[in-house]
Structures are given as structure tokens and as C-alpha cells.
Amino acid sequence: MLLTKAEQDMLSGREGHATKKCMEILVALGDIYGARKLVKVSSVQVSGVSYKNLGDAGIEFLSELADDGRARVKTTLNPAGMDLTNWQAQGIDEGFASKQLRVIEAFRRLGVEISCTCTPYLAGNKPAFGEHIAWGESSAVAYANSVLGARTNREGGPSALAASLTGLTPLYGYHLDENRVPTLIIDVTAQLKSPEDFSAMGYFVGKKAGNGAPFFHGVKRAGIEELKTLSAALASSGGVAMYHIEGVTPEAKTKPDGLEVLSFSQRDLEETAAGLNDGGSPDFISVGCPHCSLEEVATIARMLRGRRVAREFWICCSRRVKLQSDRRGYTRLVEASGARFACDTCMVVAPIEDLGFKVVATNSAKAVHYLRNGGLQARFWPLEKCVEEATKPK
Amino acid sequence: MMLKGRIIYKGTAEGDALVASHPISFYGGVDPETGDIIERDHELRGESLVGRVLVFPYGKGSTVGSYILYRLAKKGLAPAAIINEKCETIVAVGAIISSIPCVDRIDISKVKPGARIRIKGGVVRF
């Protein structure tokens, strides 16, 4: 790979140990994936924040980097394993909490914004069309490439951090035009009526598309809520980093010829949704995977007005959306019902299996996927049904 | 025999070969407290990778796996070196942050399990 003089200096250790390690990571990845050079990034999203996933090794690594490393570009964080201010009420034990706070402290020293959300694009980190970025968090990667038209590969925690601390990433994969084209056509004949239908579709298509870039034909409209849950599902059952929706996403051209065509019918939709349902009565209900938008919080607040919830009910969102919700009076309505905001975290990265829950209801196919991996039973319901069920007496 | 590969993380190492023909997931597949391979149905299940030259096609699973290698290295439980057919992000990043010599583009079918292996730069001898 061709390095500039300044980049060679960074690699040689002239700018400190952290910068050197980060450059070693970027150069090795560039060589592995055939990059010709490094490119400047404007934004980084770092995954690998929950202590549940990082462990003590992660803390050590981050603390060591923070000794002389600093973020050089706007850098935001994925959700942590708990609400950073309200963890006691969530039932998180002190041992876990103190470790999690050490992780956060290391990120703070690194100059990273403690945003703790999987929807940075709803919380002040929204790159423009065509910008090179280095994002972790698979759902945000798919959203950034597909919906925003920014350019990122699927970064892991350390490679995203390496980009943050150097302001650079190797130029390969989704940074290049030729890799952003569709590889498979999805002919959608199902009636998509809710974000949950998009979630189920993403889960179905992700399995078939693998690492490819599906092109959806026949989707009439899709808003932020539909696109964020579609992105999450495509990236959890598969490894999709980019997709196109004809008439909706910015890089979707007219339907390409010569590609394999797969259909997504009403029956596929119904079967996928049924397959995400394990049965059982939920003892825990959680929405916001990816983190809720303000509009979703508004819907929940309207439904909970004057009612009480009978089961543990978490509304996962970024602190930014929670603040907006405070100002608009939604928070008061939600909390009066006994439901709980879970900021900075979610049902996937919090240690909820240790909180004693067995059956979890959610409106996200991605959440179902990871909850099942954690040994829990799941129900996949639309947002409105999740709220209704939360208020039903046990 | 001598095989030449590509350096992912440079260094010199010596150890007995622990060879897998299937990919390894470090996150969930290796016990970070002991260095034992614990992945269900894996051919190396029950083996310890501590101090061995770990030979496998490529890594798989969560990118958090890089941190597992780091954790092993901090405890002195890391493999002496890693040899891959085709290194990917998880193993490459793990080897770099943990300073574990790592070489790829090696025909791993030529490496005999248990053989004493010496690695220097991109050259593998046994």
C-alpha cells in the first residue's frame, strides 16, 4: 500500500504508541483486502462498548490506547451494557456497572463522544452523501451506505477505533463505486404495512443475500423507522452492508438486468414473522432495536397515556431522543405508566439473561436473533402490540 | 520443509503445531481464562492453544474475537504464533494488538499436526 510521508511517520511511532498500533491495524487490513492507499474519514462509529462483550481484556486495550491516543475525527459510541445513569433501577449489579463505567471512562479519555447509540444518524452523527466514514455496528453500516449514501465497510471495534485515532481507513470494499452495485434482485410482492414487516423482510433476505447487496423492487415507500429496522435485520441474519430500494435510496438506479431474482411474497412475510415467534407469555417487553426514533417514542407515549404497564417494559433509545422526549412531555406519560426508558443500552447488549427474564417480546427481528443466541425465548410483535401486551394484567 | 507466506504481524516464534482444517471463532469458541478451545463440535475442542503455533484456515464469528486474543496474550496464554490460509479482520487485528507473530497465504494442509515449527518473518520452517 502507498503511504504518504505523514502516514509513514504515524506508522513509525513518531506520533506515539496508540497511533502506531492503529496504523499497523489499518495497513495490515489494507494489505489483506488489496487497498492501494488510505483515505481520510469524516466520521467514526465505534462498536464493542458493552462490558458483556469486551470483558477485562477490552478494558485493558482501551485504557492502554487512551494513554497517548486521541480521536482525530467525530467519533460516537455504540450502546453500552446498561443505562449509564439509571443502571441501578435496571437491576444491573454493581460489579458489572463498575467495569462498564471503566470502559466508558477509557472512551472519554480517547475523546470519543459518549453517545451510546446504534442510531448515530439520529443523534448528531449523520454523514453526508459520498463521505468516507468508518463505522462499526452492522445496522448503522447498512443504513449509512444505503440510506445516507456515505461509504463504509463493516468495521469491528478495534478497526473503527484505529480509524478514529488516525482519521484514516484503507480504501477498499464499499469505499469504491464498483463494489456498491446490486448483486441480487428482490421482487417484493408482499404488502408491507409496518416497520415490523420491513424487519421480517430484512431477516428473510439477509439469509439469502449473505455479504451481497440486494436491490429491492416493488417497495412503494419507506421512512426512517422502516429503513432502520430493515438495515438491522439484513445485517443480523446475513452480512449485508449495503442495499438499494428502487425509488427510495439515493444510489438505486433502475432495476439492473442479468442478476438473480428472488421474490418476497405475502406468504414469505407471514412465514418469516411466524418463524421469529417462539410462543410463551413474555415477562419482559422491549422495543427500540435499533434505538427508537422520536416518532416511535411519541406513538408509545400516546398509547400509554393514563394506563399502567403490568410487565417490565423498556423503551430503548439514545440519550438525545430521550431529551427531545422530555421536552415534548412524552417522558412523563411513559414513566407515569411504569414503563422505563433504557438510554445508552438495549436488550441485546445489556446482560438481561442475568436479570432473570425468560420470554422477551420485541418488534425487531435483529433483537429476536440475538436474544435467542443468549438462550431466551422471543416473541416478535408489532410495536403497538408490544405496548398493548405490556399493559395486560399477568 | 520451508513455506513462504505473507507477514500480517512480524516476529520470531517457535512452537508445536496445533492444526485445524476448520475456521476458529475466538469469541465464544476459546475460553479466555484458560486458552482452551471450547467451540461445540470443533475438531480441536478440548485442546489448549497456549504456546502452540495455531494453524487454521481463517477466523470467523464476532469481531470481539480480536479482544479475546488480546486477553489471552495479557495473561500469557496466547498462541506462540498464528498461521492462516487467508487472514481476515478478526485474526489480523487480534494478532496486531496482542503482538502475536502472524503469517498467512500458507498451504496449511502441508503442516503436520504436532510438528515443531519455527517462524521468522514470513518464513515457516518445520
Digit-coded pLDDT (tens) for A257-307: 999 999 999 999 999 999 999 989 999 999 999 999 999 999 999 999 999
Q: Answer yes or no: are the C-beta atoms of A80 and A100 closer than 8 Å.
A: yes
Does B32 lie at the interface with A, CB-CB under 8 angstroms?
A: yes
Does B124 lie at the interface with A, CB-CB under 8 angstroms?
A: no
Task: Please report residues of B whose CB lies closer than 8 A to that of A61.
Answer: 67, 70, 97
**pLDDT tens across B58-115, in order?**
998 777 889 899 999 999 999 999 999 999 888 999 999 999 999 999 999 999 999 9
Query: Is A28–B92 a contact, with Cβ atoms under 8 angstroms apart?
Result: yes
Does A24 lie at the interface with B, CB-CB under 8 angstroms?
A: yes
Identify the pLDDT of residue A354.
86
- Within 8 A by CB and 6+ apart from A270, the residues are none
Task: Give the active site residues of B.
Answer: 62
Beta bridge partners of B48: B36
Residue A386's Cβ-count burial label (10 Å; 0-12, 13-18, 19+) is: buried
Identify the pLDDT of residue A348.
87
Residue A343: is its pLDDT beyond 90?
yes
Residue A201: is its pLDDT beyond 80?
yes
Cell of B90: 478478526
Task: Please report residues of A whose CB lies closer than 8 A to that of B92.
Answer: 25, 28-29, 32
Apex CA B119: angle with CA B115 and CA B121, to 5°?
160
Query: Is A55–B32 a contact, with Cβ atoms under 8 angstroms apart?
Result: yes
Q: What percent of chain A has pLDDT over 90?
A: 90
Identify the pLDDT of residue A305.
97
Torsion angle, alpha carbons of B43, B46, B50, B51, to 10: -50
Closest CA to B97 of B121, B73, B77, B123: B73
Identify the pLDDT of residue A239.
87
Helix (H) or strand (E) segment spanning residue A45: strand A43-46
Distances B26 to A22, B13, B87, B95 between C-alpha atoms, Å: 21, 21, 14, 12
Of the listed ranges A238-242, A384-388, B17-21, the one predicted with least confidence: A238-242
Beta strands in chain B (DSSP E): 2-4, 6-9, 12-19, 24-25, 53-56, 59-60, 81-84, 102-104, 116-120, 123-125
Query: Is B67–A157 a contact, with Cβ atoms under 8 angstroms apart?
Result: yes
Identify the pLDDT of residue B22.
92
Output b/e per residue, A21-56; b: 16+ Cβ within 10 A: bbbbbbbbbbbbeebeebbebebbbbbbbbbbbbbe
B37/chain A closest Cα distance in angstroms: 18
Output b/e per residue, B63-102; b: 16+ Cβ within 10 A: bbbbbbbbbbbbeebbbbbbbbbebbbbbbbbbbbbebbb
